[in-house]
A and B are shown apart, each in its own frame.
Chain A
C-alpha cells in the first residue's frame, strides 16, 4: 500500500486515494517496524539464546565465549581465522540475549565443529535482515515526521521514491530472515535429533533432485514474472471509480447473514 500510494503521488495520479491510503499505511508501517525492533526482535533473541545458542553465536560471529559480547552493525566473519571484524556495539549482544551487559555469551568454539552452522552465511543474512529492519524504522519515522510537518511528505520526491522501493526491501528482509533461520539451524533438520545429511531419502538420485529444483526454479520464475506483470498492470490501471465498486458490491455480496439464507436462486 505504501509503495503503490507513493508511486501514485510521484506520478500525480489518484492523488486523493493515495493520500488516504498513506494515512493508514504509514502509521501501520512505522508502528510495526518499531514493534519489530523493540518487542518481537528482542523476544526472538531471548528464544534463540535459550534453545539454539550456536545459532545465536553464528548470527553475531561470536567465536570465543565472552562476557560483554558485542553486537556487529556491519562486518565480516571468517571461519578460517575464527574472527569477526567490523563496526560493533560493545556489550549489546549480552544485553539482548540476557538483559545484562556483562552476561557471558557462548561462542562457537564451545561446540564441536560438526555441530555449528555455516557461520558466514548465517552472519550475513542475519545482518541484511537486521539492517533493513532498522532502516524501516528510520524511514517510517522520517516519513511520519514529514507527514505531520505540514504534509510535506506528499511533495518530497526522494522520500516517496524510498517508500516505493520499500516493498522490495521488505521482501528482501523477509527472505534473508528466513535464510538466517534455515542456515542457522544446520546441520540439523530436526534440532539435535536428525541431521540434514541423514534425512535424505535413500533411493533418491542427484538427477531426480536436480530435476525438481530446476522445475521449481523454472515454475516460480515464470509465476514471478507473470505476477509482477499482472500486478504492474493493476497498479497502472489504478482503483476503479467508487460508483462502479459499489454497484458490483450490491450485486454480488449479500447485505446481511440472513439474506444469505433467503437469497432466491433459480434451479435450487
Chain B
C-alpha cells in the first residue's frame, strides 16, 4: 500500500520533471520561427537549449520506465491502446532531434527546411502530450481485460484537443520565459513582447479546462470533495502564475522561470490528485479502472526498484544541475555551436 503510493508520487514527480524541463525546450521550438528571424538569432535559439534538451528528454524515458516496472498493466494498456498516437510521438521526437542536429550542417535553404521541421515537430509533441493527458483525464474505452479499443481519431475528442492547444500555449509561455533568461538584443525584445499575450491566452484556456472539469468530470470533483486538501495544488498554481507574471514585468526572468516551472508541476499535481488512486479511467465501467493498487508490480519489485531509484536519482539530479550550471548565463555562439 505505502510502496504503491510512493511509486505513484515518484511517477508524478518524474512526469512533472519532464514537463518542466523538456517543456521549455519544446516551447523554444514552438517559438523558433516567431522570435528568431535571422540565421544568427536562430542559432542562438538552438544553442539556448543545445546542451540540455537531450538530458531533459531522458525524463520521459524515465517516466515510461517507471510505468513499465511499477505499473505494468497501465503501461501495457496505454502503449497498446494509444499505439498509433505513440508512434506519432516517436516520429516527431525523432524529427525534432534530427532537426536540431542537422540544421547547422549546411547553409541556405537546408536551414530553412530544418527550422520548419524543428518548429512543427515541437508543436506536434506539445499537442500530442496534451491530447494524451486529456484522454487520461476524460477516461478511455477500457474493457475488463485492460484493452483499450479506440482509434487515433476517437482519441481526438474536443476536450483532449482543447488540452492539446492549452499545452502548446503553456509550453510556449514556459519556453518564452526561458528564452528571455538566455538571450539578449532583438530576440530578447521580441520574446518579451510575445510573452504576456501567450501567458494570457494560456490562462484563459486553462481556466476553461478547469471549469469544464468542474462541471463534467464528476469523479475528479468527488475525489476533491472527499479530501479537500489537494485544493492547495490548483490554488498554489494560481499563485505561481501570478508570481510569474509580475516577476516577468519586473525583468526578474530567472524567478519568473522558476514560478512558471512550479506552476506546471502544480497543475500536474492537481490533475494527479483528482485522478488518485486511478491511473487509467475506464469510461465503460468504473470497475475496470486501473488504479495504483490493482495494477502495481509485486512489493518485492517495488522495493528493489526503490533502492535503485534512491541510488540513481541523486546522480541524475547532480549531472542535470551540473550541465545547467556550466552553461548558465546568456547564450554565446562560437565555432563549435550548432
Contact = CB atoms under 8 A, between A and B. Distances in A.
Interface of A: 201-204, 208, 211-212, 215, 219, 223, 226, 230, 233, 247-248, 251-252, 260, 265-268
Contact of A248 (B81, B148, B334): B334
Given A219-B95, A223-B94, A230-B102, 11 more contacts: A202-B145, A202-B147, A203-B80, A203-B147, A204-B80, A212-B87, A215-B91, A226-B102, A230-B106, A248-B335, A266-B330
A268 B328 contact: yes
Given A202-B147, A215-B91, A252-B335, A208 B83 contact: yes
A226 B102 CA distance: 9
B57 interface: no
Given A201-B83, A230-B102, A230-B105, A268 B329 contact: yes
A197 B71 CA distance: 23
11 contacts: A203-B81, A208-B84, A215-B87, A230-B106, A233-B105, A233-B106, A247-B335, A248-B335, A251-B335, A260-B326, A265-B329
A233 B102 CA distance: 13
Contacts of B145: 202
B334 A252 contact: yes
A238 B207 CA distance: 57
Contacts of B102: 226, 230
Interface residues of B, number: 26
A23 B287 CA distance: 69
A203 B77 CA distance: 9
A219 B121 CA distance: 14
B149 interface: yes
Contacts of B326: 260
Contacts of A202: 80, 145, 147
Interface in B119-150: 145, 147-149
Interface in B303-338: 326, 328-330, 334-336
A168 to B, nearest CB: 22
Contact of A219 (B83, B91, B105, B148): B91
B210 to A, nearest CB: 32
B80 A212 contact: no
B184 interface: yes
A247 to B, nearest CB: 8
Contacts of A260: 326
A190 to B, nearest CB: 13
A233 B184 CA distance: 34
Contact of A211 (B79, B87, B95): B87
A266 B329 contact: yes
A230 B95 CA distance: 16
A214 to B, nearest CB: 10
Nearest to B181: A267
Contact of B148 (A203, A212, A252, A268): A203
